[in-house]
C-alpha cells in the first residue's frame, strides 16, 4: 500500500533469484519510513513524540485531541444553548401563566363586584317591595281597626255611665259589647299578624290602644 512514508519500488517473482542491491534498496526504504516515526518508549506505552493523525472518518480511526476538544466543545455549547433555550421557554410559559392567572383573578373580582351590586340592588328592591306589600296588606284593615277602636271607646263610655247610674242591665250590655269588640279586634290582629311585621308602627300603635282600652273596660 503506497503512502507518504513508504512506496514499494521493486517486484520479486516467487522462487527466483533477486539482485541484492534491489533487496537492499527496499530494506533501506522501509528503514527510512520507520525513521519518520517518533522513537518508541520501549515499554509498550507509545512513542516519545507525537504522531500526526488524520481526520477520523470511521469508528476504528484514531482521533486527535484537537478533534475531541472541538467536538466535545461544540456538544457542550449545544447543550448550553439548549439549556438556555429551555430556560427561556419555561420563563415565557411561567410569565404567560401568571398573566393568565391575573386575568382570571381580575375577571373573578369583576364578577364578584357585579354580583354584590346586583345583590344590593335586589335587596333594595325587595325591601321596597316588602314595605309596599305590607302597606297593601294592612290598609284593608285600617277601617276595621278604627271601627273596633271606636266601638271600644263607645263601650268604655257606656260602661262608665252604667257604673255611675248603678244600672245593672246597662252594665251587662256594656260588658257584652266590650267582649264582642275585643273578640273582633283580636280576630283582625290575628289575621294580620301572619302577614305584617309586628314591629310596624301602626300595628303597634293599635295594639297598644287595644290593650289600654281593654284594661279600662275590664277594670
* Joined grid coordinates for residue 69: 476538544
Residue 179 lies in a domain: yes
Boundaries of domain holding 175: 86-218
The C-alpha R_g of the chain, in whole angstroms, comes to: 62
* Residues 175, 166 contacting (CB under 8 angstroms): no
Q: Indicate if the pLDDT at residue 105 is higher than 90.
A: yes
Residue 1: inside a domain: no
Q: For 27-51, what is each residue's pLDDT tens digit? A: 999 999 888 888 888 887 877 877 7
Q: Give the number of domains in the chain.
A: 1
**Higher pLDDT, residue 190 or 19:** 19
Residue 8 belongs to some domain of the structure:
no
Asked if 39 and 29 touch (Cβ cutoff 8 Å), the reply is no
* Residues 148, 191 contacting (CB under 8 angstroms): no
Q: How far apart, in whole angstroms, are the C-alpha atoms of residue 197 and residue 133? A: 11
Amino acid at each position: 500500500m503506497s503512502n507518504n512514508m513508504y512506496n514499494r519500488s521493486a517486484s520479486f517473482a516467487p522462487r527466483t533469484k533477486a539482485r541484492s542491491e534491489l533487496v537492499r534498496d527496499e530494506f533501506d526504504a522501509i528503514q527510512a519510513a520507520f525513521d519518520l516515526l517518533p522513537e518508541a518508549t520501549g515499554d509498550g506505552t507509545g512513542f516519545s513524540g507525537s504522531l500526526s493523525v488524520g481526520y477520523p472518518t470511521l469508528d476504528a480511526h484514531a482521533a486527535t485531541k484537537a478533534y475531541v476538544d472541538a467536538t466535545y466543545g461544540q456538544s457542550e455549547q449545544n447543550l448550553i444553548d439548549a439549556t438556555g433555550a429551555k430556560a427561556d421557554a419555561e420563563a415565557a410559559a411561567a410569565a404567560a401563566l401568571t398573566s393568565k392567572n391575573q386575568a382570571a383573578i381580575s375577571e373573578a373580582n369583576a364578577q364578584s363586584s357585579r354580583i354584590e351590586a346586583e345583590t344590593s340592588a335586589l335587596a333594595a328592591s325587595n325591601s321596597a317591595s316588602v314595605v309596599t306589600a305590607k302597606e297593601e296588606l294592612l290598609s284593608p284593615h285600617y277601617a276595621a281597626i278604627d271601627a273596633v277602636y271606636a266601638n271600644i271607646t263607645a263601650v268604655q263610655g257606656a260602661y262608665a255611665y252604667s257604673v255611675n247610674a248603678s244600672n245593672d242591665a246597662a252594665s251587662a250590655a256594656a260588658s257584652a259589647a266590650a267582649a264582642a269588640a275585643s273578640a273582633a279586634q283580636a280576630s283582625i290582629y290575628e289575621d294580620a299578624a301572619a302577614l305584617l311585621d309586628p314591629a310596624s308602627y301602626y300595628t303597634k300603635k293599635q295594639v297598644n290602644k287595644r290593650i289600654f282600652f281593654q284594661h279600662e273596660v275590664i277594670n
